[in-house]
Amino acid sequence: MSAKLDDVAGKSFDYIIIGGGTAGLALAARLSEDPSISVLVSRGRGQPQRQRQPPPDAAPQAAEQPQVRLGVQDSRAAAFEQPHVRVAAGEGPRGSSAINFMLWNKPAREYVQAFELLGNPGWTWELFDKYSKRAEKFIPPDHDTDVLTYDLAYRGRTGAIITSFPSVISNLERPLIQAMKKLGIEHILDSSSGFTNGSCVTASTLDPRLTRAATPATCISPPRPRALTSSCSSPPTSRAS
């Protein structure tokens, strides 16, 4: 449910999450899977729970819309002798998943394994891959499968976030893949395997019905019993350090 700040003042919750963006809503969805746990998500700027969904190809334009973009001034701007350096960040209950370019990829295995090598036991690629797949619902393509390659061993099939490939390709992909092979850069089956040295077409957080799979629509909207409250708070600060 969505609530105003006055509606939740003085009430107790098991968890209070500050920020209703990509990470905050994903965390809230996970915690509230247990109906006995109450979760409050505090969102900024008084944005409504439902906003117009930007079309999939409108990331650059959406980043300029004040209703979905949070203008942040970087305090390091003076170092560049500029009056300000704007940092694009998502506004409202979708966070930056409302304005990003929808790429769904995973880092190289070495990057994740480095966390454990630096003294964080359990931070392994295998664990990261396990929970990444839990969040994903990959829909395989039914066209151009010589270009739109994938490996289901590294893809989730039952998660909340829909991933897929576009319904059409640009026809630049095949000559580009061949050109890269001539330079010694092989085409890899699926970069979601963590083996990222090579060329690969990256899947997107794109529903085949050509809608953007933004966080609230995927993590919060599906009806399920949960004690989850979303509240608007005061405007956030306008400076990032």
User: Do residue 71 and residue 140 come from a single domain?
Assistant: no
User: Do residue 8 and residue 95 come from a single domain?
Assistant: yes
pTM over 0.75: no
Q: What is the pLDDT of residues 185-229, one digit of tens each?
A: 999 999 999 999 999 999 988 887 766 555 544 555 544 555 555
How much is the pLDDT for 19? 79
User: Do residue 128 and residue 194 come from a single domain?
Assistant: yes
What secondary structure letter does DSSP report for 193?
Answer: G
Instruction: Give the count of domains, the chain.
Output: 2
138 touches 29 (CB < 8 A) = no
User: Do residue 177 and residue 196 come from a single domain?
Assistant: yes
User: Do residue 97 and residue 8 come from a single domain?
Assistant: yes
Question: Cα separation of 183 and 200, whole Å?
Answer: 15
User: Do residue 146 and residue 223 come from a single domain?
Assistant: no
How much is the pLDDT for 76? 53
How much is the pLDDT for 178? 96
Question: Cα separation of 217 and 98, whole Å?
Answer: 10
User: Do residue 26 and residue 80 come from a single domain?
Assistant: yes
Q: What is the pLDDT of residues 68-81, one digit of tens each?
A: 444 455 555 555 55
User: Do residue 97 and residue 114 come from a single domain?
Assistant: no
Domain assignment present for 150? yes
| First and final C-alpha spacing in the chain | 33
Q: Within the chain, which residues score under 70 in pLDDT?
A: 1, 44-101, 210-241
Domain assignment present for 113? yes
Domain assignment present for 154? yes
User: Do residue 87 and residue 130 come from a single domain?
Assistant: no
Q: Pull the structure tokens for residue 217.
A: 């629509």
Domain assignment present for 161? yes
How much is the pLDDT for 14? 93
User: Do residue 97 and residue 113 come from a single domain?
Assistant: no
The type of residue at 127 is L
19 lies in which domain range? 2-101+214-240
User: Do residue 168 and residue 94 come from a single domain?
Assistant: no
Domain assignment present for 234? yes
Domain assignment present for 209? no
How much is the pLDDT for 240? 34
User: Do residue 190 and residue 221 come from a single domain?
Assistant: no
- CA torsion, points 179, 184, 190, 192, in degrees to nearest 10? -120
Domain assignment present for 82? yes
Domain assignment present for 41? yes
